[in-house]
Amino acid sequence: MAVADHQMVQAWNEVLTLSGLKAGQMVTILTSLNTHPQTLATAKLAVAALGATQMQVDLLPVNAEKALSRDLLAYLGTTPLTDNPAAIAALKASDLVLDLMTLLFSPEQHEILKSGTKILLAAEPPEVLVRMVPSLQDKERVERSAQVLQGAREMRATSKAGTDLVMPLGEYPVMKEYGFVDEPGRWDHWPSGFILTWPNERQAHGRIVIDRGDILLPMKSYAADPITMTVENGVVTSIEGGLDAELLREYMASFNDPEAYAMSHIGWGLQPRAHWSTLGLYDKEQTLGMDARAYAGNFLFSFGPNNEVGGDRTTACHIDIPLRACTVTVDGRETVREGKVVEELA
C-alpha cells in the first residue's frame, strides 16, 4: 500500500531524533540508482526541518557484471566508494550518513565509522519503513538479549526438524541492531531488531536442517523441501536435499571461494512488527528481506564475511538464513524456545 509523503517525513523525523541529530550538524545522504525516490525526498525534508546541513553524494553502482542477482547483498566487496577518496572524505566529515545506497561489509565503511561518523542504512520500501519505525522499546529489547550474550562461551541451536548446531563464542563482539544510531561511530539498519555475534573461528560444528518454509536469502524464497547441512570446524562441508539444496550449492559454488562456506554471524530476531510471511507478498526486487531477518523468534545464521567485526574474511558471498521453530540456548540458558523469544527477553 502506498505511503503518503507526510507519513514518511514523520517517520524520518522520529528516526533522526532517536539518532540524536541536532541543528547545525552535517548530514550526507548516500544514493545510487537503486535509491527509492520517496525515501530520498522525504529524508531531505526531515533533515531540513531539524535544522541540519545536508549534502547528497550520488554514486554509480558496481559489480553488475559479477552478481547473479539484482539483490543489493548478492555480491559484496568492492563498493562505489572503492578508490574514491573524495567521497570517503565527505562522508568522514559528516556527523551522520544516511545510506540509501547499501554500503555493507567494506573497508570503506569501517574507515568512515572509525572517524566517529554514524551510518544509518535505509533501503527497504517506504511501506516497510513506516511499519517498523524504531523506538526506545526496540532498543531496550535488543539490549536485554545483548546482556545475555556478553561474555558468553557457547550458543546452541536445536529443532525438531533436526538442527543441532554448537557455536563456541568469545572471539568476536556482540552487535545490536535496533534501527537508529545514537552513538558516535555506530552503524545500524532501519528497519531491524535482532541480536548477533560471530562464532569462534573454525569451531562451530553440528547439523543445520533448513525445514520447509524456512527462508533462503538473498534468494528470497521459502524452502519447499528440507535441506540438511553439515558443519565441521566452522565450515559447511555438505548441503544435501532436493532442488532447493541444489540451487543453494550451485549459487555458493559460483563464487569459487572456499571462504563462502565459513560460518558468519549468528543470533535471533526480536522485532514483533516483522513477519515471517511478508516475503511472500513482495516482488523479490522490492525488498531486502528485513522482515525475514528480524521477525521475533527466528534463529538467524549466515555464511560468508567476518570483516565487519574485525576478521579477515572478505568473501563476496553472503548467505542469510532465518530458521523457524528453533530453540536457542546461550551457556545453557534458553533465549528462544521453539521459535518464540522467551518472556523475559521479549
Calculate ∠ Cα 67-72-74, nearest 5°. Answer: 40
Report, as ranges of residue numbers, the positions in the chain whose pLDDT lies below 70.
Answer: none
**What pTM does this model have?**
0.96
User: What is the side-by-side strand order in the sheet with 164-168?
Assistant: 235-241, 227-232, 205-210, 164-168, 154-159, 326-330, 333-337, 340-341
* In contact, 76 and 264? CB cutoff 8 Å: no
> Could you tell me whether strands 221-222 and 227-232 are parallel, antiparallel, or unpaired per DSSP bridges?
unpaired
276 CB contacts (<8 Å, ≥6 apart)?
Answer: 213, 215, 291, 292, 295, 298, 322, 324
Q: Which fold has domain 5-131?
A: Rossmann fold (3.40.50)
Taking the CA atoms of residue 331, residue 334, residue 337 and residue 342 in that order, the dihedral angle to the nearest 10 degrees is: -140
| Residue 322: closest CA among 222, 255, 201, 239 | 222
Instruction: In whole angstroms, give the CA distance from residue 341 to residue 346.
Output: 6
Instruction: In whole angstroms, give the CA distance from residue 159 to residue 254.
Output: 30
Instruction: In whole angstroms, give the CA distance from residue 298 to residue 24.
Output: 41
What does the longest C-alpha to C-alpha distance in the chain come to?
57
Indicate the domain borders of the chain. 5-131, 136-341
Tens digits of per-residue pLDDT, 268-308? 999 999 999 999 999 888 899 999 999 999 999 999 999 88
pLDDT on residue 284: 86
14 CB contacts (<8 Å, ≥6 apart)?
Answer: 133, 134
| Residue 302: closest CA among 273, 331, 259, 345 | 259
Block residue for cell numbers 533522526: 16
Q: What is the chain's Cα-based Rg?
A: 19
316 CB contacts (<8 Å, ≥6 apart)?
Answer: 66, 75, 76, 77, 255, 257, 260
